[in-house]
A and B are shown apart, each in its own frame.
Chain A
Amino acid sequence: MRLTIISGAVRHQSKSNTAKIIGAFRQGFEAGGNTTKVWFLSDRRQWDSARAALQTEENVLFALPLYVENVPGILLEFLEGAAADAPPQACGRLSFLLQGGFPEASQSRCCEKFLKTLPGKLGREYGGTFIHGEMFGLSLLGEKRAKAMLKPFAEAGRRFAQAGRFQGADFANLSSPEYLSEKQIRQSRHFRPAQKCLLTVIARRLGCKTRLDARPLIEDTGKIKSSER
């Protein structure tokens, strides 16, 4: 199978979690001799080629981060352009790989609901959405942890190569839990101080010089800075 992958991430390819996820997915997908071609919408010079591929290729996968409960603005901009094009020359599927920062799959259901409607509007069949959360730390927690975090995507690629779509228990098992368990919620409360410490360390390493909960747009009194009124 030949698969066109279009990344809807806003961050440049070199720093993009979605790009890393695509890399892992390709490893699994190509293991059986399948091929992929990837386009990154963060680079607007690639838009024409991505749009042409969307017109002519049978199997297209959009990989994207969850962005304010839906797709990132640049992906929406690309899709609006594609919707204005003539109907695609190839009949085929649009599938979606949706990654989010929060751990629960339920966080991505609002976006998934929108994604389900897109293929019909673009003259395509829906090939399903693979959802995976807890990916925020992918570029921040070190290579060993990142490797473990990417494993499900390589496996999803392998299974996608066989099924041609994201469907059924095979993919549900690889996805994140729908909601946190009671135990996980208790643990998250228990470890909140440690989480804050870890984030502070990461922030300092990135050059942060203030508190992570700083309120730069208001004065201590809680009022908006008068100079900005």
Chain B
Amino acid sequence: MKNGSLLVVNTLPKNDPAVQAAIGALTAKAETGEVMHTEDMKIQPCVGCNFCWLKTPGVCAIRDDYEALLRALLRYDTAVLIAGTALGFLDHRAKHIVDRTLPLATMYTHVVDGQMRHIPRYDKRFRFGLLYAGAGEREYLTYWMKRFALNLGGNSLGAFPIEEAGEVSLCV
């Protein structure tokens, strides 16, 4: 049985055999899908200007290829990030990508389950998953993914070693 639509955001080298195997496993179960390789895109780190919240709401001040990724996140039911790890966490390449998701939230806040949250900009229940390569600390990455998804008003599918891509495709 095929699942919903799937976006794969790969921050590792696209020719890495483990990446290719993971993408194959993920997309095999999706009805429609798209794979974005960030090594082919010009994406700069967030500069913390807050323009996407206060000056040009929803639009990042950095005019690079990231907007295509934001649009894709809105278009697909589920997004899976393929990332390298360092110091037990995501590596900086993947974190730079995640840091740029701020335009998906508004500056307005509300309290959800006793904690303050940004009000999401779009009526979309995001579903995020993480596949990581290297010595990531799975328990921590799972915890972090949950928090990350919560901040955008979404759900986390969890964090899995890249070898377990098949497990994530079941969640998708």
Measuring CB to CB, which residues of chain A are less than 8 angstroms from any residue of chain B?
Answer: 9-12, 16, 65, 67-74, 76-77, 79-80, 83, 102-104, 106-107, 110, 113-114, 117-118, 121, 179-180, 185, 188-189, 192, 195-196, 199, 202-203, 206-208, 210-218, 222, 224-225, 228-229
The answer on a CB contact under 8 Å between A74 and B45 is yes
The answer on a CB contact under 8 Å between B99 and A72 is yes
10 A-B pairs closest in CB distance? A77-B92, A11-B48, A73-B96, A73-B95, A10-B48, A76-B92, A216-B58, A69-B147, A214-B57, A80-B86
- Which of A70, A215, A217 gathers the greatest number of chain B CB atoms within 10 Å? A217
A131 to B: closest C-beta gap in Å: 14
Could you list 6 examples of A-B contacts with CB < 8 Å?
A: A70-B89, A102-B115, A106-B115, A180-B116, A188-B116, A215-B121
Chain B binding surface, main DSSP class: mixed
Alpha-carbon gap, A110 to B108, bound state (A): 22
The answer on a CB contact under 8 Å between A217 and B58 is yes
> What chain B residues lie within 8 Å of A73 (beta carbons)?
45-46, 92, 95-96, 98-99
Alpha-carbon gap, A199 to B144, bound state (A): 29
Given A70-B144, A79-B87; A222-B108 close (CB under 8 Å) = no
Number of A-B contacts defined by CB within 8 Å:
158
A75 to B: closest C-beta gap in Å: 9
The answer on a CB contact under 8 Å between B49 and A113 is no
Alpha-carbon gap, A110 to B141, bound state (A): 10
The answer on a CB contact under 8 Å between A11 and B49 is yes
CB of B36 within 8 Å of the partner chain? no
The listed residue (A16, A83, A206, A215) touching B58 by CB distance below 8 A is A215
CB of B101 within 8 Å of the partner chain? yes
Alpha-carbon gap, A151 to B63, bound state (A): 38
CB of B37 within 8 Å of the partner chain? no
User: Could you give, for residues 87-123 of chain B, a 1 whenever the CB lies within 8 Å of some chain A CB and a 0 otherwise?
Assistant: 1111110011011011000111111001110010111
Measuring CB to CB, which residues of chain B are less than 8 angstroms from any residue of chain A?
Answer: 45-49, 53-59, 67-68, 70-71, 74-75, 86-92, 95-96, 98-99, 101-102, 106-111, 114-116, 119, 121-123, 137, 140, 143-144, 147-148, 151
The answer on a CB contact under 8 Å between B87 and A195 is no
> What chain A residues lie within 8 Å of B147 (beta carbons)?
69, 110
* Extra inter-chain contacts (18) besides given A68-B98, A76-B91, CB under 8 Å: A69-B144, A69-B147, A73-B95, A73-B96, A80-B92, A102-B109, A102-B115, A110-B143, A114-B89, A196-B108, A199-B108, A210-B57, A213-B57, A213-B119, A217-B58, A217-B74, A218-B74, A218-B122
The answer on a CB contact under 8 Å between A215 and B122 is yes
> What chain A residues lie within 8 Å of B92 (beta carbons)?
73-74, 76-77, 80
The listed residue (A74, A121, A180, A215) touching B87 by CB distance below 8 A is A121
Given A10-B45, A213-B106, A224-B75; A83-B55 close (CB under 8 Å) = no
Given A65-B48, A73-B95, A213-B106; A113-B140 close (CB under 8 Å) = yes
> What chain B residues lie within 8 Å of A65 (beta carbons)?
48
Alpha-carbon gap, A186 to B75, bound state (A): 36
